[in-house]
A and B are shown apart, each in its own frame.
Chain A
Amino acid sequence: MNPGHNKHTRRRPAGVRRLYTAALILLGLTLALPGAEAVETRSITDTTVALPTVEKLVRVLSFDDYNLRVVALGSMMLGIAAGIVGSFMLLRRRALMGDAISHATLPGIGVAFLVMTSYGGSGKFLPGLLTGALVFGMIGMGLVLLIRTQTRLKEDAALGIVLSVFFGLGVALLGIIQQLNVGHAAGLESFIYGKTASMLASDAWLIGAAALVVIFLATIFFKEFSLVCFDQDYSNAQGRPSVKLDIIMMSLVVVVTVIGLQAVGLILMIALLIIPAAAARFWTYKLGRLILIAALIGEVSCLLGACISALAPRIPAGAVIVVVATGLFIISMIFGSARGVVHGTARHRRVRRTVERQHLLRALFEWNEEHAVPGKPATDAVVRSGMPLGELMQEQSWTHGVLRRAMRRARRDDLIRTGGGGRVQLTIEGLAAAERVVRNHRLWETYLITHADIAPIHVDSNADQIEHVLGHAMVAELERLSASEFPGRVVPPSPHVITRTARPAATGGGT
Chain B
Amino acid sequence: MAITGILSRERAEDRTLGTEHPENAPLSIDDMTVAYHHKPVLWDIEYDAPEKKLIGIIGPNGAGKSTLIKSVLDLVPRASGRVLIYGHPYAQQRHLVGYVPQRESVDWDFPVTALDVVTMGRYAKIGWCRPVTRTHREAARNAMDRVGMADYASRQISQLSGGQQQRIFLARALVQDAQLYFMDEPFSGVDAATEKAIITLLQDLLANGKTVLCVHHDLQTVPEYFDEVVLLNMRIVAAGPTRDVFTPEMLQKTYGGKLTLLDEAGHALARARRR
Contacts and interface: CB of A to CB of B under 8 A. Distances in A.
A485 B101 CA distance: 41
A238 B192 contact: no
A5 B150 CA distance: 8
Interface in B169-194: 172, 191-193
Nearest to A91: B110
B150 A233 contact: no
A231 interface: yes
A452 B193 contact: yes
A91 B99 CA distance: 22
Interface in B109-139: 110-113, 116-117, 120, 123-124, 126, 128-132, 134, 137-138
Best-surrounded residue of A1, A224, A285, A473 (most CB of chain B within 10 A): A285
Contacts of B113: 285-286
Interface in A195-212: none
A227 B101 CA distance: 14
A285 B111 CA distance: 5
Given A231-B106, A451-B193, A237 B73 contact: yes
Interface string B146-161: 0000110110101000
A238 B124 CA distance: 6
Given A229-B110, A230-B112, A231-B106, A8 B154 contact: yes
Nearest to B120: A227
A452 B153 contact: no
B111 A281 contact: yes
B129 A285 contact: no
A240 B129 contact: no
Best-surrounded residue of B99, B137, B138, B141 (most CB of chain A within 10 A): B99
B70 interface: yes
A233 B137 contact: no
B105 A231 contact: yes
Contacts of A285: 111-113, 156, 158
A242 B116 CA distance: 19
B17 to A, nearest CB: 32
Given A220-B129, A223-B132, A236 B151 contact: no
B182 to A, nearest CB: 9
A231 B111 contact: no
Contacts of B134: 9, 13
Interface string B89-114: 00100100101010001110011110
Interface in A266-308: 281, 284-287, 290
B150 A1 contact: yes
Contacts of B110: 91, 229-230
Contacts of A451: 192-193
A217 to B, nearest CB: 9
B129 A234 contact: no
Given A224-B123, A451-B192, A237 B75 contact: yes
B192 A287 contact: no
Interface string B17-58: 000000000000000000001000000000000000000000
Contact of A233 (B75, B117, B138): B75
A453 interface: yes
B264 interface: no
Contacts of A66: none
B120 A230 contact: yes
Interface string A393-419: 000000000000000000000000000
B204 interface: no
B111 A287 contact: yes
Contacts of B124: 238-240
A226 interface: yes
B126 A233 contact: no
A91 B131 CA distance: 21
B244 interface: no
B191 A452 contact: yes
Contact of B126 (A8, A223, A290, A452): A223
A223 B123 contact: yes
Given A223-B123, A231-B101, A239 B106 contact: no
A4 B151 contact: yes
B109 to A, nearest CB: 9
A240 B91 CA distance: 11
A125 interface: no
A221 interface: yes
A346 to B, nearest CB: 17
Best-surrounded residue of B129, B137, B153 (most CB of chain A within 10 A): B129
Nearest to A230: B110
Nearest to B112: A287
Interface string B178-215: 00000000000001110000000000000000000000
Given A286-B112, A287-B112, A8 B99 contact: no
A13 B137 CA distance: 11
Nearest to A289: B111
B123 A227 contact: yes
Contacts of A237: 73-75, 94, 97, 99
24 contacts: A1-B150, A5-B150, A8-B154, A9-B134, A12-B137, A152-B37, A223-B123, A223-B129, A227-B120, A229-B110, A230-B110, A230-B112, A230-B117, A231-B101, A231-B105, A231-B120, A237-B99, A238-B94, A239-B91, A285-B112, A285-B158, A287-B111, A451-B193, A471-B151
Q: Which 5 A-B pairs have the closest CB atoms?
A: A285-B156, A238-B124, A452-B192, A237-B73, A220-B129
Interface of B: 37, 70, 73-75, 91, 94, 97, 99, 101, 105-107, 110-113, 116-117, 120, 123-124, 126, 128-132, 134, 137-138, 141, 150-151, 153-154, 156, 158, 172, 191-193
Given A1-B150, A5-B141, A452-B193, 10 more contacts: A4-B151, A8-B141, A220-B129, A230-B106, A231-B101, A234-B120, A239-B94, A281-B111, A285-B112, A287-B112
